[in-house]
Structure 1
């Protein structure tokens, strides 16, 4: 290693540092002055290289003669070294890195994942930059301001940057090697998982509701399938509204004795059952195909429901408040402090609700509503059954 440089991230109240995107652009400018290497590796602070030939694997895509000129990023999956057997909080994000990203790789590639990728400097700058001398003023004119690199439009700087590169015709390649190239530390508590998903949801939804909406801005600049892939992620937080309805309306109908679902004798029941079973079967087949288990499938369904009615809902609420000017953008960093007691509970598969009670308000309300409605439903069913028995007698 010929030169090692440490750059500290300065934070001042009267100067916006632009969160992670600002730090990445600082490193790009510094590395550009030092070496101006054409390819750069980006890793989060809690990740490390697990395979010394990861750079060689990335170069296989960059140096391939037929399609190399269109490749801007080579993305590796995020794989974590501290995942338990049950993975009760779905910390490994299996559906993203083993299903969604692989599917998007058949188009222009998946979105950036924030870490574990090699970037082509030319793609970020928009032009080929050659360092000719060490004159700092000339280099400053050459490299220009920070808006030539990672974009500041959203907290999800990886999503908006990758999306804009897709719009400009660049491809992103997804490389999933048999040996994990990079390993990181996953969240092992419900609170950290919720904070992480709120931050992601806010950043993605802000892009979806802006002038860079994938369904509008991207539809004329990329294929419709690629546009739909980006839109699915951008508007994913909207899952909260149908899930909240699903967790509330049937229970209220049961409590008031209102028939909501089609009867077994109805022709509509076959359609309803087919759609419901097919969705669950598709998810189960994906989990089993990835050497998962029924327990993992159940855990993923449970945490998906919890995230939908809490993290996704608060993300929508946060973006709405920012749009009407009631709240400024805030970057909530996931805790990096290891709680040994929490780690032990996570390894044993003990689901813990410790953390910010703000997340539990909706969950407790939904659980209470389900218990009361189920009890009332059983009471009405037993009384109706008793009345039928008495009538027969």
Structure 2
């Protein structure tokens, strides 16, 4: 029976959904009156406002209303999920395959160093390595990102075994080496030497 229990449950916040839908209804009503006012003022009244300026105002209001309308879906049905990691099977063979997709497009707004730290953190997840697949989608097609991926792949040969051997809680290389030394293995000479070697390779 325990094997049939779900790993997560989805709860809909009914009160929050009601408030959001009421606000959406009021907002839609206000927009309907606004567009009716603009249309009637344009056709039934003479105005000193230049025609182009009036169309520009109307187009701006319509654009902002459309953008607001696109965001309704996130508030229409607010959902809270509760995960139960203790229900995961103890045997690694029973775990499903896990695919991690990391998307990037602009190496200026998303520096390659940060993307590679994300890739290494995902590769170091506490999950069976043969069932974990990490994909990077670079929509910008940057050669710098490609070079960073090659460097991350080379560094991962030392970093991933180090994370698994010492069960590191923080698997992001940049954050790990920038924090104060609070490891449980600070007295272990072998650990200190290996950590120093990996730190040199990460530079």
TM bin (shorter chain): under 0.3
Which one has the bigger strand percentage?
A: 2
Larger Rg: 2
Which one has the bigger helix percentage?
A: 2
> So what's the TM-score if we normalise by structure 2?
0.26
